Amino acid sequence: MCDEFIHPGLVSDSRLSRRTFGLMTAAVAGGAGAAHAQSNVTETDVTVKTPDGTCDAVVFHPSTKGKWPAVLIWPDIMGLRPAFRDMGRRLAAQGYTVLVVNPFYRSAHAPVIGDNFDFSNPESRARLTGYRAAMTNDGVDSDAVAYLAFLDTLPQTDKTRKAGVQGYCMGGALSFRTAAASDRIWAVGSFHGGNGLVTDKPDSPHLLIAKTHAAFLVCQAQNDDATNPKVKEDLKAAFAASAKTATVEVYAANHGWCVPGGAVYNQAEAERAWTNLSALYKTALA
């Protein structure tokens, strides 16, 4: 997962002020966002019933009439926020029905951080790790099934097409779990999932690979790899043993590089990761 050494620095986004976020949400709910119209993507705040409660989330899909493959996005440990709305909107514009969830709905409504969040602050970090601790494996699995079922109720989802899942930071491991929990998933993208993808515990995400039928794209951060270079080799071995199509690669960027607003955001490597994800979905979700 994340710690102050691997995920240092501020996460800054002026849209994360409570007032600004509230106004943005109201505009989305009313369908009045000029940016959304310009991108030809419809954005709607929703709630999803799960066995453990009600999750606040957001759905994106092309504004034109039609049906598209479903994709679930698991945010990083700082949760659902404008940067992940941007990702959902961008992906939907490529022809997908996208659900971005608040993984911490058991503990707090999104956004769970403010406009200048310092992950290296022990008190702030402890709050987020506490939210993560409230998510048991069984809870994550049942959440994933509920999220995909919700996507399949939407008229914009093509249920005859395969579905995908992508996750960032802790969301990488959650994406592995999602693929094992639902036979709807045929493509998995993990971005700076870190050492949490391979552990010495019986619930290690890499042990779930054999239970999936997905193709995988695993993009690891260079500083995660430096702390434990064996992770990539264990992942490659697990994919090979399960005869799964997979790409495991270390990117020239640090943990968190894919998410704008973070101190380590690396646009060039983030775009490379996005291009590779787009290629995976185009092939695997056909």
Asked if residue 2 is part of any domain, the answer here is no
What range defines the domain where residue 167 resides?
10-284
Asked if residue 186 is part of any domain, the answer here is yes
Side-chain half-sphere CA neighbours of 52 within 13 A: 20
pLDDT at 14: 83
Asked if residue 5 is part of any domain, the answer here is no
Total of domains in the chain: 1
Asked if residue 115 is part of any domain, the answer here is yes
Angle between helix 137-153 and helix 170-181 axes, rounded to 10 deg: 70
pTM of the model: 0.91
What is the mean pLDDT of each successive set of 10 residues along the chain, which is 286 residues long? 55 70 42 48 98 98 97 97 97 98 98 87 92 98 98 98 98 98 98 96 98 98 96 98 98 96 94 98 96
pLDDT at 230: 98
d(CA 204, CA 176): 10
CATH for 182? 3.40.50.1820
pLDDT at 25: 44
For the stretch 250-286, pLDDT in tens is: 999 999 999 999 889 999 999 999 999 999 999 999 8
Asked if residue 3 is part of any domain, the answer here is no
Angle at the Cα of 165 from the Cα atoms of 88 and 154, rounded to 5 degrees = 65
Asked if residue 4 is part of any domain, the answer here is no
For the stretch 149-182, pLDDT in tens is: 999 999 999 999 999 999 999 999 999 999 999 9
Asked if residue 192 is part of any domain, the answer here is yes
Determine phi and psi for 169, rounding to 5 degrees: 60, -125
SS3 state of residue 196? helix
Asked if residue 156 is part of any domain, the answer here is yes
